[in-house]
Amino acid sequence: MRRRLTASTCLIALAAVLVLGVPLGIVQAQRTRSDAAGRLEREADAVAAVVDDRVEGHRPITPELIAPYVRRGHRVEVVTPDGRRIVAGAIATGPRIVQRSGAAQAARVTAAEPRIEVTRRVRSTWLLVLALAVGGVAAAAGLAALQARRLARPLEAMAGTSRRLGRGDFSARAGRSGIPELDDVAEALDVSAERIADMVEREREFSGNASHQLRTPLTALRLRLEEVAVLDDPVARAEEVELALAEADRLDATIEALLHHARADHAVAMTEEHGLDDLVREHAARWEPLFAREGRGLTLALQLGARPAKASAAATGQVLDVLLENALRHGAGAVRVITTGQGAAACVAVEDDGPGVHTGIGDIFARGTSSADGSGIGLHLARALAQRHAGELVLARATPPRFELRLPLA
């Protein structure tokens, strides 16, 4: 870009020189020749004035008389009425420029100078025009180089920013150059970088959420399939197959809920009325085999009855699964799920007899925060899902732990 801009500017300057400089040189050369002719004529007129007075007075005319009026290197020739010729000045050889006096009356006076002198002056004129042209083109090239540098630097900086974005550095930002058009491009690039960073972060979050949330349905599905493998009774096997298909449906619903959460900024939260007690029973039934395999109990204390909650059943189930998994992995003793209703709000509490949340751990709901060997994803996702549907997930008691999911009642 720099070379092209410099070359194009130099070509423009050269074209301007050709359009303006050449005619100027021609005009100046003609003026130089015209000045030479006028100077010779004035020189001849000066000699003619002296000669006419001498002729009218019948006095002699000598070369010494007219020599003071002749320029150095010039030649003046006087022809008197009686035919005498008086010459003063240099004896010129080669081409000459001759000019006759227009003021002479009694005698004919002519002045001459070598053509080489006029040629030298014309050549000097052309050399001056050429020097100015070269200087103008050089100045244009210098200014073009500076302008190209000013324009190229922001573009090179934006190219570097684009390369950093391509390498995954989404903190890269394009600087501002003070050129409005380039600053608009830089601002658009920065906005694109922020959007790409947001998209990549959403993809990463979705991957983490999916890997965390799909683990439990896959484990339950595996248990069902293992049961199918060892059963000989066709009726029991058919029941286990139905339960396995239900786990597959649950897996599909989990994926759909995670996708909906990943598009949270571009979608409207989907709410519905559903029986919270029935939802708790359904999910508890899926978790009972996992708790039984660990030798731990899972009890329910459901007090809402037929009062429906106003939230997404899929999101509520996701939050409940996170709390039950958290109690299974990090808690101890029996796990209790309690539903209560106070005014226009419902509460689903999950508690166990474990040591609870360590003090000084910070925000247990922050992504990446875990009090044990967990991933720090589940509780963060659960709170986000709850808030997405006008609910709230809080740690009501640290030791022994009690988590409460609060949702609006229909």
DSSP-assigned states of every residue in 10-58: HHHHHHHIIIIIHHHHHHHHHHHHHHHHHHHHHHHHHHHHHHHHHHHTT
Q: How far apart are CA 395 and CA 364, in angstroms?
A: 8
What number is the average pLDDT over the span 366-377? 60
**At a CB cut-off of 8 Å and minimum separation 6, what does 225 contact?**
244
305 vs 124, residue with greater confidence = 124
Q: Which residue has the tokens 């939802």?
A: 279
The answer to whether residues 380 and 322 touch, using CB atoms and an 8 Å cutoff, is no
Q: What's the confidence (pLDDT) of residue 1?
A: 65
Q: What's the confidence (pLDDT) of residue 403?
A: 92
pLDDT band at 104 (very low <50, low <70, confident <90, very high): low
What number is the average pLDDT over the span 332-360? 85
Q: How many CB atoms lie within 10 A of CB 349?
A: 18
Structure tokens given for 207: 């991957």
Across 78-87, 131-140, 242-251, 392-401, least confident range: 242-251
pLDDT band at 268 (very low <50, low <70, confident <90, very high): very low
The answer to whether residues 57 and 40 touch, using CB atoms and an 8 Å cutoff, is no
Q: What's the confidence (pLDDT) of residue 300?
A: 92
pLDDT band at 259 (very low <50, low <70, confident <90, very high): low
pLDDT in tens, 43-98: 888 888 888 777 777 788 778 887 888 888 788 888 888 778 888 887 666 787 88
3-state secondary structure of 349: strand
Q: Is pLDDT above 70 for 395? A: yes
The answer to whether residues 302 and 285 touch, using CB atoms and an 8 Å cutoff, is no
What number is the average pLDDT over the span 12-27? 82
What number is the average pLDDT over the span 329-337? 89
Q: Is pLDDT above 70 for 211? A: no
Q: What's the confidence (pLDDT) of residue 266?
A: 41
pLDDT band at 337 (very low <50, low <70, confident <90, very high): very high
DSSP track, 285-345: HHHHHHHHHTT--EEEEE--TTPEEEE-HHHHHHHHHHHHHHHHHH--S-EEEEEEEETTE
The answer to whether residues 240 and 224 touch, using CB atoms and an 8 Å cutoff, is yes
What number is the average pLDDT over the span 191-202? 76
357 vs 291, residue with greater confidence = 291
Q: Is pLDDT above 90 for 350? A: yes
**DSSP β-bridge partners for residue 88:** 76
Instruction: Give, for 186, the enclosing helix (H) or strand (E).
Output: helix 180-213
- HSE-up (13 A, CA, CB side) for residue 214: 16
What number is the average pLDDT over the span 322-345? 87
Q: How many CB atoms lie within 10 A of CB 109?
A: 29
Q: Is pLDDT above 70 for 290? A: yes
pLDDT band at 258 (very low <50, low <70, confident <90, very high): low
Q: How far apart are CA 306 and CA 165, in angstroms?
A: 54
Q: How far apart are CA 103 and CA 42, in angstroms?
A: 9
Q: Give 71's DSSP letter.
A: P
Nearest to 55 by CA among 102, 106, 4, 113: 106
The answer to whether residues 339 and 346 touch, using CB atoms and an 8 Å cutoff, is yes
